[in-house]
Every structure is written in structure tokens, then in C-alpha cells.
Structure 1
Amino acid sequence: MAPSPRRWRRLLTAASLAAGSTVVAAFANAPAATAIPLPASDYQHVQLALGSAELGEPMSLAVMPDRSVLHTARDGTVRVTDAAGNTKVAGKLSVYTHDEEGLQGVAVDPGFATNRWVWLYYSPPLSTPAGDSPATGTDANWNTWKGHLNLSRFTLKADNTLDLASEKVVLTVDNDRGQCCHVGGDIDFDAQGNLYLTTGDDTNPFESAGYSPLDERTNRNPQYDAQRSSANTNDLRGKLLRIKPNTDGTYSIPSGNLFPPGTAKTRPEIYAMGFRNPFRMSVDKPTGVVYLGDYGPDAGTTSSTRGPSGQVEFNRITAPGNYGWPYCTGTNTTNETYNKWDFNANTGGAKYNCTGGPTNSSFRNTGLTTLPAAKPAWIRYAGDAGSPPEFGTGSESPMGGPVYRYNASLNSAVKFPQSLDGNFFAGEYGRRWIKPVKINADGSPGEISTFPWAGTQVMDMAFGPDGALYVLDYGTGSNNQALYRVEYIGGGNRAPTAKITPSVTSGPNPLTVSFSSAGSADPEGGALTYAWDFDGNGTTDSTAANPSFTYTTNGTKTPTLTVRDPQGLTGSASTVITVGNTAPTVRLTLPASGQLFNFGDAIPFQVTVTDPEDGTINCSRVSVTYFLGHDSHSHQITGKTGCSGTITIPVDGEHDAAANIYGLFDAAYTDNGGLTTHSITTLQPKHRQGEHFAAQSGIQIASHTSAEGGATAGFIENGDWISYSPYLLNNATQFTARVSSAGAGGTIEVRAGSPTGTLLGTATVPTTGSWETFTNVSANISGAPSTATTLYLVFKGGAGNLFDVDAFTFTTGTSSTPVVNLKSLTNNLYVSAPNATTALIANSSTVGVAQQFDLVDLGGGKVALRSKANNMYVCAENAGANPLLANRAAVGAWETFVLIRNSDGSESLQAQVNGMYVTAENNGAGSLIANRTAIGPWEKFDLVGA
């Protein structure tokens, strides 16, 4: 689809101004052509598992001969879901999970029918250096953070439990720990029984401005130099490995790998090299061809001194070879080759010679100096090289899926059609699509189709023995991770979909649960009948649509709902109920949702945990983890234990500054019964790119050479808008936007909640004379709500194209800490400031504006409480016999408090001047707040997010 007619005016205007690069970029970023769609009515999605209880953080899958699916979670859990959708835990490995590590790939041995062997690739835990943590695995102590990953063979017993004692560690891959990123970890077999394993470059890409990490400084952590791994012929990282496993747990080297055994400074296990993060691949067994998706770097623009902008690849590997990383990408020609970069002087040098064989001169290289010439990518997309128009736009996350092979003799009602025989099924995690790609006779990519994928973020795919496509869906963070079996039905009657929602998922014995079948449906609209199995024992306990059941025995239950359509087809869904143990309640009070931050900030956190069975909470078992959000996924960066503390966010932002990045804090607690609850908060960087909006009206992304990241929110006309969520703007004082205009200019309205919501400020945008000439415009911000909201930038002006928005920045006041309420743990009443005159602090049973406070960080671990109603401070007026709390208009030493963490997880406030505590003396009316010298239960408070 071409831009709408009103957008063409922008192109003509740009052309008249001789802004040639803008015109080309605008055409290049026009909406993409539509891929040939496969009929949605020909396919049905059978949901086999759903949610964290059945999938955890899903990583990889393998389909067994009986159509059961083995799937892994990064925390080390291996699960089995049978063909009917019943899920059980097969076993759990102890794993190291910092950054992207943990349990990764899984595969079923070719001889599984007789030996029941399965293969897993994971990071075993290793001892931590004394006084050290992954968060500090940087320049000073990188030498202590050496680890490895295991490729291990296990036996899966007949009852589908993993025999952990059967482990044979067949291969280890060394790695450096304490820094992000890139593990790889996919496993597959060819028809000859050779095992293939992908490995990531184990390199931090974030301090290279989004370009290639080639940092050869001798005093730097080696994890900033991918020449030690991907470009090292004597290292197993950044590779596609190929070995022949032996029955005794050893392996041999098949003929035809990249380096023959005995070749100096090489590893014979290497089949292909020069990869960054080959996260997913598959082997087409009839041909032996490997299809692999390799993630690329994040640079938004090409630099004449650094190299090409970020792009990613699908590779079709028919023979051993080098695919170029970290020296080149894509075609590996000059335009897609990196420059040698001096990280001390911040200057660029000559480009690497990828076509003739790049030279690895890093002192960390233990392999050959001259590498094999680089092979081009099969399909490259994003970056300056452009993309197949059928791929569309968005974040770039290539998932190397399987090739479908039609079997005419297979007796299966759900096998895919012959028309898709030989198609490679490409997956895209970020763009959320699956696209069959035909393979031409010469091996080049042919027609690209659009598959009717009904899920979200594609994590892994495989065709099962029934010819159906099994897809592991990572989900979007809303407990919607899923496992699907996608079946071909050729336009016939489609099976109904079952949905099951319990009123509670855990609780004491006896436990009454109300079940809902809401959302269950028949695609053809037929009436459904219902069959409920509450205990998971195969019996029908109820045929009501929404029954209730009381459990009277402790343990984990798997209630299942089966729905049947008028033609007799069924669909099932199950869930997990824990009886005799209640999941803990975890509340991450600080930081607040949408809180603004800068990379490098020290962010305080506060967590409150309650659990009826555990009683007093041991705060050492509470974890708070910082994740770097990037597009629709995240990287685990660092964390701490405890109910309170501070986490410092790395200064570099962990990605190219123009990337779509944000912060995530995840608080978690696992109770004595093994149930885990998370509380997750999203933080927003004060500086954000305009093109990374969540929603828009009338906006298209435009490319500009001089824009940050090379792109803007463009083609803006009167009444258009963009939005971002969540944003907490209660302490924002100024909004600044980087804009350009060869049009009429106009205004940017900063609004909260909707395009017509509360107006927080207005910035005036002048004409800058060119779409490539940028300037900053600002507006003061006031009147923001005290809770997280959706930020809207609404554009106003005259006719035609107005301006482009490259990026925007919020400036904050002295307090960057969100609004809180104080609730007494004794009587559940709230601390409040009723007025600004007598302003004594009293208890109230409801929360209103008068009861809300800013928690103002004064530095040195001290805080003050500032009333939202009157901007006065809570203070301890004196240290005498009757030190009532009152409001003051200024902050002095006696008005500051320290948050005291109590053993049960609650907080108390201790005045800095007199060492006394804020307390609620009485339960009745007029229960004024006074200071006491000791802490009792009635003196404790929860910080409750406003």
C-alpha cells in the first residue's frame, strides 16, 4: 500500500527543496507490499498450554514421536505437554540465569523410540567469587567470571520424568559471565545422526554505539571484543557446531566440517562460524541444509567511520563456511563491512577485507589470523540494505524455523498441504509473523507467503510426526505465553477453542474454586457442550458452563475443560490449582510504574511481601531484578536480594541510544511451598525516540540522515498524534522535542490519558527550512496526574505537512520518586494531611488527594514526605514529650526520615533528628501520629502506591 494522498504532498515538497536523501528514504520506508496470504480458514490453532504455570519463560521445544512436546523454560524447568494438552514438569535443572543464560535448547534423539534420550543445552551454576556479583562483572574483575554451558544427554523415563542422574555432559562451551549477551543454544539432528548446536558470540554489544564490538583495549573486559569468540577459529562461540554423538557419551567429528581435525589453532567441531546470535535454526533432513536466523546489531544509521546500520539475516547453509561477524554483515561487501575502530581515540580506520578473508589481529584471538572469506546472507533485512517488502517493518528478530516436507503416505488429518512442500517457515519474534518461503531450484528464496499465525512472539517452531506445525509463543508479558499445534483442515469444520479461568489458583484446604468457560468458542458459531475434569483423573465431574468445585486434599491439581461442537470436534484447556498453599502477595512499591529515569541513575526499590503460610518474610529470599527492555523483549542485566535497596542502571543504556529501550524492575518471592509471585514495573527513559510510539493516528515513520537513529515520527498533519505508555509525569517540569520542518510548523500538545486529556504543556515548532535541519523546542509541564498514565503528543497546525519529531526529553524536579500512601499495618488506616494550617497528621479510612505524599529523595539514604495536597512536608517538630507530626513548607534536617525495614517485610519511618519512629498510637478517631522510641506492630506502615 502506498502512502495516502495527503502524504504525497510531503514527498513533492521534499523534492522541490532538493532534499534528495529524504525523498529516497521516504519511498524506502513506505508501507511494505503484502505477502501472499494463506487462507486462515484452512488452519486451526490448538492451544496445548498457556501461561507461566505451564510454560514459565519458554525457550525451546521438541516434538516426540507420540506428539507430546518437550519444552524448556530459562529457569531450568523441563515440561512435557501431551497431545491432549496436559502439562507436567518432567524435571528441573539447577542453572545460572544472569543476562540471557539458563536452560536453552532441547532436542529429541533420533533413536528416542528405543533409547529415550533427550538433549539439553544449559548454563550450570558455578561458585561466585567472594563479595562479587554478576552486576559487577566488569573491567576490574572480569577474570573471575569464567563459566561454561553444557550440551548434555539425559534419559526421559517412561512416565515422562527426566532422570537427572542419567546426565552425560557431551560437550562444554566456555563463556564469560557477568555481562550480557548472546547464548544461541538451538539443537537439531540431520538424517545421518549428526548433532548441530548454535552458540552465540557471548559479547556485550552495548558499548559499541550499536556497531560491531571490536574493543581491543588491553584493560577492557574481553566481553566487549567479539574477535575472541565469533572470529576465533579456536573457540566454540558464535558458531554452528556439528558433532557425531557416540552411545557412551563422547562424540566424534563428522567429515566435512570447516576445519579438519588436527588443524592448528582451530576447533574441528565448527561447521560454520561468524555468527552474532544464531538463536534458532533447523536442519532440513532430506537435503542436510541448515536454515539459521542470526540476530544483528542495533545501529540506527550507517557511519562512514564505523560501518553499516543494524540488519539481520536468514542464512541457508549448504556447506561449511564463515558468515562474517563481527567484521561484516549481509552481503559482506564494502557497504556492509565494518571499519577497524580505535576505542581509545574514538577514530575509525580501514574496512575489513571480508571478501578476501578478514584478518583477526586481536590479542585475544587464539585461532587463525586470516579467516575464510565471508559468505553472504541468504535473506538480509532491515538496515540500509532494505528488506523483502513481504517482511514489513518493526523490530528485527529472525527465528530460523523448519522446512516442511509433505508425506503422501502419512495418515494424518491435520498434516500441512502438499502445496507447502519444501517451504522454509521463517519466524519473526518482534514482528510476530510466520512466513513460508519457497526455495527456488538454485537455492534462492522464492515466493513469500503470509501464514495465518494467531499468536504473538514466535520463540520456536517444529513440524511434528503428524505434519502439523508446533509453535512456542513467548507471549507479551501478560501471562499469555503459549504452546500451539497448528493444524491444516483445508477449510473444513474447525475445532472449538476452550478457555478456562479459575477464581483462584491457590489457597488453603478446603479450597472452593469457581470456574469460568468465558471465551470458549466454536469458529463456526455452533453451540458448545462442556465437560469438566476437576482432578485431572480423566473423569467428567461437571457439564455446566461455569461450575464450582471444592478441593479437600492438598497438592497440585490440573483441572481440564473439554468443549465439543455440534460435529463432535473437541478443544481442551487446563490450568494449575495449588491446594494447601497460598501464593505470596508481592508488591513492588518503588519504583513506580512509568517512573522517569536516566541510564546511570541509582534507583531505590521497595518490596512488600505477605504470605499466610510463611508468616514472617525473610527478605533475603526476595529478589529484585533489573531488565533492559528492548522493543518487545528484555535482557536481564543485574539484581539484588532484599526488601529494599538501590540498583544502579548501567550508564550506556545497554543498547544504541536510538533504540527502543526502557527499564523493567521485577520483584519476586518464592514461598516455602514453592509458589512464586512476581511484581513487575516499567520505567521510562527521560530521553526517547519519537518513532518508538505505542500507538498513533496519521503518523508514518520517516528516514532522515541527520535524525537520531536515522528515523522520526513523520508525515505529521493537523490533529495527528502519537502515544507512549506508561508514563509517570508527576515530577516532570519540562518537555523538550527535537524537531525539523520544511512545512508549516505548528504546536506539540503534551497530554495525559487521551488525545483530548489533561493538557500538561504546549511547545511551538518553527519552520527549520529543511526536513534534515533539526532544532529543539520546549514547554513547561504542570498538572500531571500522580499515577501512571498514557502520554499523548498531539500535533496542531495549518494545512499540509507540519513537522517531524525525532526525539523528546523530560526534565524532572528534585524528586524523581513517585507518590505513595502510608497505611498502618495495625488498623489499615491511612496517614493523611487534612489541611495546611493545623496540618496534624491523622488516620483516614480512604485514600484521597490529601492522603498522598511524594517520597522525596534527599540523598544519603534519607527521604522526606511531601503532602500532595499542600506541598508541605511531614516533620517531627521537636524531640520533646509530645512530638506530634506537622507540616512545614521547607525541608530541614529534622524533617528527614530513614525507611526502616522490619522483619516481616513492612516499613517504619525513623526521624533523623531524634531517632524516634512515626507511629499510629490509637485505632480510634483523632488517632494522631506521634513519635515513639521503640517499634511495635502498631507502629509499622506499608508504602502503598497511590
Structure 2
Amino acid sequence: MCSQNTILRTRLLVGLFLCFGLVISRPVQAVQVPADSIPEENRFTKTVLSNDLNEPMELAIAPDGKVFFTERKGNFYMYDPAEKKTRLIREFPVFWETKYGNGLIGLALDPDFEKNHFVYFYNTPISETPKQHVSRFTMRDDYTLDVESEKILIEIPIDYEISRHTGGSLAFGPDGNLYISTGDNTSPFASNGFTPIDERPDRTLFDDQRSAANPNDLRGKILRIHPEPDGSITIPDGNLFPKNTPGTRPEIYIMGCRNPYRITVDPLTSFLYWGEIGPDGGKDGDRGPRGYDEFNQAKKAGNFGWPYFIGNNIAYRDFDFATEKIGPAFDPENPVNDSPNNTGIKNLPPAQKALIWYPYDESPEFPELGKGGRSAIIGPVYHFDPALKSATKFPAYFDKALFITEWMRNWVFAVRLDKNHDYQGMDQFMPQTGDFRRPIDMTFGPDGSLYALEYGSVYGIDNDDARLVRIDYNAGNRAPVAVISASDTLGTAPLTVRFEGAKSYDLDQDELTYAWKFDGKTVSSTDSKTAFTFKKNGIFPVVLTVTDRVGLSHNDTLMIGVGNTLPQVSIETAGNRTFYFDNQAFNYAVKVKDKEDKVIDPKRIKVQFNFIPQLANQAALIGHQDTDENVDLGKSLLEKSDCKACHQLNKPSVGPAFADVSTKYRADKGALARLANKVITGGGGVWGEIAMNAHPQLSKEEATQIVKYVLALGETQNSLPAQGTKILKEHLEEKKAGVYQLTASYTDAGGAIRPLTGKTSLWLRSAKVEAEQADQVIEATKQRNGLTGLKNGSIIVFQSIDLKNIKNLTYRYALPGKNLTMEVREGSAQGTVIGSVELAATGSKETFAEISSPIQATPGLKKLYFVGVRKEEDAADPVVTLDWITFEQ
């Protein structure tokens, strides 16, 4: 489950995928830029140019603005901005029927493309001899490829048995040199997330010293060659090893790479940048560090350390896979490859440090990057051209910024470098409105706009949201934003709905005009407020168009369903609706009303009762009784995670389908704890050798709720009856604080349009309420184990409290000074007093006492205010520390 990264790493996009010791690093800071120079995020607009793609890989843009891009399965496309259409140029015959990333991967246009029409591809040909190769084709004037013009520049051997980490990016430097990234083509498995250096005779394919650390092998490298007009290549000066050096390959510019999946070259400095997909270890261990992804910079040729070092040159230890004996740490200044699988020289160049490195968990050095799965993808370096006449070019604010992106985390950052081109800081690009869908390649076009290929939500399938997009900057007038508000969106005919467009806005404060269409064709109203009666059943798109003073416009669409109404679901109980009590019975009855279903079908009622251990956000959850919010906490946590990158509900992807996981483990009583731990620590071997990456950013409780949700898939037969009794004792068995969640839903028969589901939930919390769980605190301080600083005028607020059957409140507190009266008020701090108790001095702030007082029960869920009152307030007097309040029957 949740096999996000490894899965990606070991198979994605060309095999996209998939400390020991102290590392002392400088803290990093965001670059300080004058506030008035920071471009407003709303000045950037993303436009989808081509949709419904299938595993898009790499793109290149011609000087005339035409966008070329590839799909892994062999399709080569061109997007024509003049016609606003995408055209298939050729279906390459490539070997792609593997989940590890082979196929049509890399793409580059010749620097002199306008004259010679040369196009370069990195691909896996269908061949009896496993290999990748870089081919050059000539494009005709009609934008078709001359298939007979193919020139194979270089071949890279691969092992199909492994076929992971294939790299495959192409990029030209300003001097006409072509850079080629190649993955290490080594299986990371049976290495437990550490470095794969298995030297046993039958494990050659599991030894990265045969490829990435081998100076005589082209894999795990970034190569640099110079294509000649006749299709031959020459080797430029300045590569890592001098020409004709025994035991080396002269094409190597960078060695020591695991999977440099995307590369870019700064057109002004010729510096090379790449994203490095790292190993999957979630924790440091005796064999070395946890896994890191990297963003790297090479100002000149070098060795970047893999498989001996990672990140900031954090060293792994030598390891004998036969005896499982751990050896000494490798030396970054003097790395030695003494593997029997090494065909090259043994003494390697010193290892170079990464520019940026980060693990699954939050990075101490780069906390801005957050937590989660890892798949580092490099973007371009932007150079602002003041002479370029373009209304969409990026502003000077981003001049010389390196753009980086994350396939798993869906963010984009602009990295700032100092005058020496060393790391200085970074700031996130379009954090609120970017809506990035796993960007896999990006570059700037001749118009100064940013173009990106977005792979889509799930790995390995035809994603609905895989697309080519363009991001433009608008320094002038901005289009308005249309926003529809409606009095209702569901009902039965005739249905009269009141519509408002008053929430529409214009960032330039332009006056807006309005146009409403209720049939999709005819403008029926030009007022900001209007009403319309739908006389027939059906689904009707209501479109509001708002237009500013210069004619820029924007649409908002709201779907109105006529012919069915939402079922009304409620949970009735004779007991308390807020608190549970040890070993007591809770009686409930689910009631359903539906306007269209004259007879309520009990089979359509679904009821679940779950105990959820204490979570960090639990106070927020239980403050929303009888709403649709958080009806399934596990599902909510899953949706916010990156698990869906590698799992689907009913179909296998990189990992197994969630439904298959549920079927396999649902009856296994010990599976919940094992799988929750596996989600956090990672692992593999059950569903094949693809490993699931670690999720150390998840708490044990959060992982448990995700697994509970997955295991419950398909358990409709285990739905509780619509009326019944539950003995509340799970909290005693789990020996944990937490809440009970009773959920009920009803799906109607559909009426005249489609079935609708009404749902509700009821939360029961412990009657012993920790003071720090208060929804609001005024004039006091929340601490880990209570509230401190309570005094005259202090207010503690608890929402959604049911006092039914509650007779007394007991307080545990400490008070070193004068007495303080605690009043309980209903509805507001000035509301009716329904309880009061005088807290007597206990002698010190470490001495706690308990005191009980009666409370007046009133019907319904209430907002309770606990107000501190002291008639003779002494400002210097010590104040109250409140540990908990117990609501007693």
C-alpha cells in the first residue's frame, strides 16, 4: 500500500525510480527580495494546451513556438500554437511493455534546428540485444519525420532483467554539446533501502558498482558528446576522464548517479543541473543513511558519489551480503571500487556534494520542501530578456532562478544562487493556484512562458489529467473571476433557484458586467442577481460570464439537478450525543427521509461504528457534529497522502489495488498493526519485488486510520443495522484515548436524474476532557498537558457539548494563590450561568486538587464558556493551571 516513491522510482518514467554519522550543514533561508518586486501569484495563468495524454515524458520547443513531446509508449507529438491543436507525428517502435520505464523517453531539438531540422530521441529499440540509444532524425518541412534519415549516435547497454533506473533525458549546452542522462540499471531490492553493492557471483545485477561506480560503463552517468553534421560524434574536452585512458569511457561527464531522470543546462554558464531519484530507506541504520533525493549542480565534470555516498556526501558502509558483515564507511575523498563486477579503474575521483538533498521526512537543511514521497525532477534556468517582446514572459524577479519540481509532492520551487552560483535560498512558485499534476518535465519557450508536461495522478495508466500546459505571466490587466452563488442546486420541477454573481471579482478593481445562460446558449439575464425556474427534470449547466472594462472575461458553471433531492439522514439516541462512558451501552437509531423514495429501502442504509485513537486534529473533528465533514477520517487522510500515485481503488498500478489489499488482509486480525507499521517504515516482497517507500511523516494513528479505511473496502456486508446498541469498550481494549465515530448514509433510488447520498456522523469523546483540547482559549495558555495562566477574565470554549444526563463537573487544577470562581455559561461569555464552582487554593502550582459541582442540563448541542471570575483580582497573584474537566452522569 501507498507504494509511492519506490514504485515510482523503480518503474516510473523510464525507471524513474526509485545517516549514518552526523552531518553538519548550514541552515538555509528564503532569499530576501523587496516585497514590491515579488510578482503576485494571481498574475500567473495556467492554460491546458493538450489533454488526455498517456505517460508524457520530455518536451522541447522550437524557435517558432511549436512544442514537441514524447510519450513512453512511443508516440511523438507536436502542439501547434497557431492552430491550437496537437498532432501525432510518429509512433516509434519501442520496447515499452515493462513497468520499469523503457520506451520513448528523451527528446531534444538541435541548437540549429531552424536550419538543419535535426531532432534527437532517447529510446529503447525493439532489439534482440537489450540497449537504449540516442538517435537523430531529420524533420521535413511538413513536420513529418524522415524515417530513413536516422543516425544512431550512441548506444547504452541495459539488462532487461532489471531495466530499472533508465534515465533518458537529453539537453544541449550553448556550445552544441549534447548531454545524455543514464540510470544505473541496478535493482535496489534485497538492499533494505541502503546501497545495492551485492558482490556475490549470482547477484551481478544487484551490484551498482558494475554500473554507476564503474568508469568503464555508460550507465549511472551523464554523458557529454558533440554531434557532428554527418551523424558521427566527437568527444569535447573537459569530460571526466581524458581520452584514451584505460579502464574509462571518454563520453562520461558525470558519474556516480542513481537515476538522473531529468537534466538541464544553463544556456549562459553551461552549468549542468539534474534531479537525482534516491533510494527508499526511511531511517538511518548501521549500514548507512536513510534515502535522499537530490538536486545537483555540476560546474565541471565530476563524480557525484553513488553508490557510496548520498546527499551532503553522507557515507554508506561497506557491506558483505554473504556474511552480512558491516565494514568501514567509504571515504568521499578517496572512493575505491574494488568490486569484482567493476571493469574499469578502481580509484575514483572524489565525490561531490549535492546542491539540495531531502528525505521522506522534513529536511533540517531544506524544511521548505516539506514531507512525503520523493521524485526529484529538474526544471530550467530562467534568464530574463528585457528586449523580448512578449506579453507573457516571466518577470525579471525570476532572472537566473533555477526551477525545480517534485513528481510526488506536486510543488515547484525557484532556487536562487549567489554570485558564485552556489545555493542561496528558494521560494515556492504558485503554491496556491499551481494545481500541478505530477510535473515530469518543464522548460521555457521563446515567448518567456513556462511549458510543462504533467504526468497525471496515477503512475502507469492513461491518466485523465495527463497534459501539456503553459504558464503565462500577465504584467497588465487581469481577467476577472466569475463566482456563482445559488439558493439551491437540487430539487424537483418546477424548481425556482435564486442566483447571485456578487462574489465575482476583478483584481484590477474594474467594474464588471454579467451575463447568465440557463440553457447553455441564450443570455437570459444581465443582472448580478437573478432567478430562474427549471420546469423540466434533468441536469442543467448554469453559466455566468463576467466581463471587465477592456473586454476580458471569465466563466463559472454550476450544475443544477432537477428531479431528485438529497436524502435527510439523522441519528437519534436517548443517550448523550457528545460523551461516551466506560462499558456503557449506546443506543442509536438511524432515521431517513426522502422526498422521492416513498418507501425507505433499509438495504440502502449503511452504518459504521469505529473507534479512532487520539489524533493531533481530533479536537477539530469532534467540533462538527451532524455534518458531512470527516465522515471517513481514513479516507480523508488517504486522499491527502501520495498513496494514490501508485495505487488505484479497483485496478493494480505500481502497487496492488486497494480492493485487493482489503481482500488479502481483511480477515487477518494482526494485519492492521503490521500494515500501519509498514506504511510508516516501508517494505516489499508481498506483491512482487517492488518496494513500498517509507512514510515517516505519518503518525502511527494516522497510518492506522488509512489502513482501516483500505481494509474496510468492500465490507458493505458488515454494515451495522439501522437501529441497535453498542457497548463502548474499544477504548479500554486499545488502552488509548480517542473518539467513537458513528456514521450513517442513505443512497436513494435516483428520482428522475441520478441517485444521491445523504450522510451524517456523530462523534463521542471521552467524558474526561483534557483542558488543552479546548476549541478556543482567551487569556490563558495551552500546554501539552493542560492550560496555564487562568485568571479573572480567562475564557475556555468547548463547542458541540451535549449535557443530556450530565449532573456534575469535576475539575483537576492547581492554584497557589487566591481562590478563583469558574462559571459555566451557555452560548457566550455573557450567556446564562448554568454552573459555578469556587476553586480553592492548593498551595503551589505543582499541587493538584479535584473538586466537583453540579451543572444544569439543557437540551441540544451547546457551546460552553468556562469563565474565570475573581472579585478581588490581584495582578501579582499566581494563577490557575487546569488539567482536565470530567462530565459526570
What TM-score bracket applies, with the shorter chain setting the length? 0.5 to 0.7
- The residue aligned with 2:54 is 56
2:708 and 2:734 mapped to 1: Cα distance?
27
1:262 and 1:794 mapped to 2: Cα distance?
76
8 Å CA contact 1:529, 1:543 repeated in 2: no
Length-normalised TM-score, structure 1: 0.53
- The residue aligned with 1:365 is 342
Q: Is 1:293 aligned to 2:275, yes or no?
A: yes
Q: Give the drift of 1:392.
A: 1.6
Q: Is 1:147 aligned to 2:146, yes or no?
A: no
Aligned partner of 2:770: which letter?
A
**SS of corresponding position for 1:688:** helix
**SS of corresponding position for 1:183:** coil
Q: Is 1:79 aligned to 2:73, yes or no?
A: no
When residues 631 and 376 of structure 1 are mapped into structure 2, their CA distance, relative to the original with a 3 A threshold, is farther
**SS of corresponding position for 2:452:** strand
Q: Give the drift of 1:371.
A: 0.7
Task: Show the 5 A alignment for 1:508-907.
Answer: 567-568=550-551, 631=643, 633-634=645-646, 662-664=655-657, 687-689=674-676, 711=696, 713-714=698-699, 722-723=705-706, 727=710, 729=712, 762=730, 799=770
When residues 437 and 178 of structure 1 are mapped into structure 2, their CA distance, relative to the original with a 3 A threshold, is same
8 Å CA contact 1:100, 1:181 repeated in 2: yes
Q: Is 1:250 aligned to 2:232, yes or no?
A: yes
**SS of corresponding position for 1:185:** coil
When residues 373 and 794 of structure 1 are mapped into structure 2, their CA distance, relative to the original with a 3 A threshold, is farther
2:230 and 2:553 mapped to 1: Cα distance?
44
2:470 is aligned, of 485, 488, 492, to: 485
8 Å CA contact 2:408, 2:642 repeated in 1: no
**SS of corresponding position for 1:212:** coil
8 Å CA contact 2:121, 2:135 repeated in 1: yes
- The residue aligned with 1:435 is 413
**1:824-869 C-alpha deviation (Å, 9 max, x unpaired):** xxxxxxxxxxxxxxxxxxxxxxxxxxxxxxxxxxxxxxxxxxxxxx
Q: Is 1:90 aligned to 2:89, yes or no?
A: yes
Aligned partner of 1:149: which letter?
Q
Q: Give the drift of 1:108.
A: 1.1
8 Å CA contact 2:647, 2:656 repeated in 1: no
When residues 665 and 202 of structure 1 are mapped into structure 2, their CA distance, relative to the original with a 3 A threshold, is farther
1:792 and 1:100 mapped to 2: Cα distance?
47
1:275 is aligned, of 231, 238, 257, to: 257
- The residue aligned with 2:324 is 346
- The residue aligned with 1:160 is 143
1:400 and 1:116 mapped to 2: Cα distance?
26
2:185 and 2:428 mapped to 1: Cα distance?
33
2:66 and 2:226 mapped to 1: Cα distance?
26
When residues 233 and 528 of structure 1 are mapped into structure 2, their CA distance, relative to the original with a 3 A threshold, is farther
2:455 is aligned, of 466, 471, 474, to: 474
**1:236-283 C-alpha deviation (Å, 9 max, x unpaired):** 111111000011111000000001110101110100110111111110
1:757 and 1:432 mapped to 2: Cα distance?
45
**SS of corresponding position for 1:280:** strand
1:801 and 1:765 mapped to 2: Cα distance?
25
8 Å CA contact 2:178, 2:226 repeated in 1: yes
2:64 and 2:426 mapped to 1: Cα distance?
32
- The residue aligned with 1:462 is 443
**1:207-254 C-alpha deviation (Å, 9 max, x unpaired):** 21111111111012x321111110010111111110000111110000
2:658 and 2:45 mapped to 1: Cα distance?
37
- The residue aligned with 2:393 is 415
1:163 and 1:248 mapped to 2: Cα distance?
15
2:198 is aligned, of 196, 215, 235, to: 215
8 Å CA contact 2:294, 2:357 repeated in 1: yes
When residues 92 and 353 of structure 1 are mapped into structure 2, their CA distance, relative to the original with a 3 A threshold, is same
8 Å CA contact 1:663, 1:682 repeated in 2: no
1:465 and 1:784 mapped to 2: Cα distance?
54
Q: Give the drift of 1:150.
A: 1.3
When residues 112 and 328 of structure 1 are mapped into structure 2, their CA distance, relative to the original with a 3 A threshold, is same
Aligned partner of 2:358: which letter?
Y
When residues 728 and 716 of structure 1 are mapped into structure 2, their CA distance, relative to the original with a 3 A threshold, is closer
**SS of corresponding position for 1:663:** coil
1:117 and 1:681 mapped to 2: Cα distance?
49
**1:451-495 C-alpha deviation (Å, 9 max, x unpaired):** 112322111110000111111111113511121111110263149
1:752 and 1:344 mapped to 2: Cα distance?
54
Q: Is 1:118 aligned to 2:119, yes or no?
A: yes
8 Å CA contact 1:60, 1:104 repeated in 2: yes
Q: Give the drift of 1:201.
A: 0.7
2:373 and 2:762 mapped to 1: Cα distance?
22
1:313 and 1:34 mapped to 2: Cα distance?
20
- The residue aligned with 1:193 is 176
- The residue aligned with 1:322 is 303
2:763 and 2:201 mapped to 1: Cα distance?
46
Q: Give the drift of 1:715.
A: 9.1
2:725 and 2:279 mapped to 1: Cα distance?
38
8 Å CA contact 1:722, 1:792 repeated in 2: no
Report the identity percentage.
Answer: 34
1:156 and 1:665 mapped to 2: Cα distance?
45
Aligned partner of 1:234: which letter?
N
- The residue aligned with 2:599 is none
Q: Give the drift of 1:159.
A: 2.6
> Unaligned regions of 5+ residues in structure 2, if any?
1-18, 483-503, 525-542, 556-640, 666-670, 681-692, 747-758, 774-889
Length-normalised TM-score, structure 2: 0.56
8 Å CA contact 1:297, 1:310 repeated in 2: yes
When residues 101 and 716 of structure 1 are mapped into structure 2, their CA distance, relative to the original with a 3 A threshold, is closer
| Greater RCO, CA 8 A, separation 6+ | 2
1:307 and 1:793 mapped to 2: Cα distance?
45
1:759 and 1:33 mapped to 2: Cα distance?
54
Count of residues in correspondence between the two structures: 567
8 Å CA contact 1:35, 1:450 repeated in 2: no
- The residue aligned with 1:386 is 364
Aligned partner of 1:354: which letter?
P
**1:728-787 C-alpha deviation (Å, 9 max, x unpaired):** 547999xxxxxxxxxxxxxxxx9999xx9999994756679xxxxxxxx9x9xxx999xx
- The residue aligned with 1:172 is 155
2:67 and 2:192 mapped to 1: Cα distance?
41
Q: Which has the larger radius of gyration?
A: 2
**SS of corresponding position for 2:311:** coil
When residues 761 and 752 of structure 1 are mapped into structure 2, their CA distance, relative to the original with a 3 A threshold, is farther
When residues 793 and 258 of structure 1 are mapped into structure 2, their CA distance, relative to the original with a 3 A threshold, is farther
When residues 119 and 446 of structure 1 are mapped into structure 2, their CA distance, relative to the original with a 3 A threshold, is same
- The structure that is strand-richer by fraction is 1
When residues 444 and 495 of structure 1 are mapped into structure 2, their CA distance, relative to the original with a 3 A threshold, is farther
- The residue aligned with 1:42 is 43
When residues 169 and 763 of structure 1 are mapped into structure 2, their CA distance, relative to the original with a 3 A threshold, is farther
Aligned partner of 1:799: which letter?
E
When residues 440 and 75 of structure 1 are mapped into structure 2, their CA distance, relative to the original with a 3 A threshold, is same
1:320 and 1:392 mapped to 2: Cα distance?
31
**SS of corresponding position for 1:113:** helix
**1:27-53 C-alpha deviation (Å, 9 max, x unpaired):** x9xxx99999852112111211111xx
Q: Is 1:308 aligned to 2:289, yes or no?
A: yes
**1:657-699 C-alpha deviation (Å, 9 max, x unpaired):** xxxx842599xxxxxxxxxxxxx99988754336959xxxxxx
Q: Give the drift of 1:630.
A: 8.1
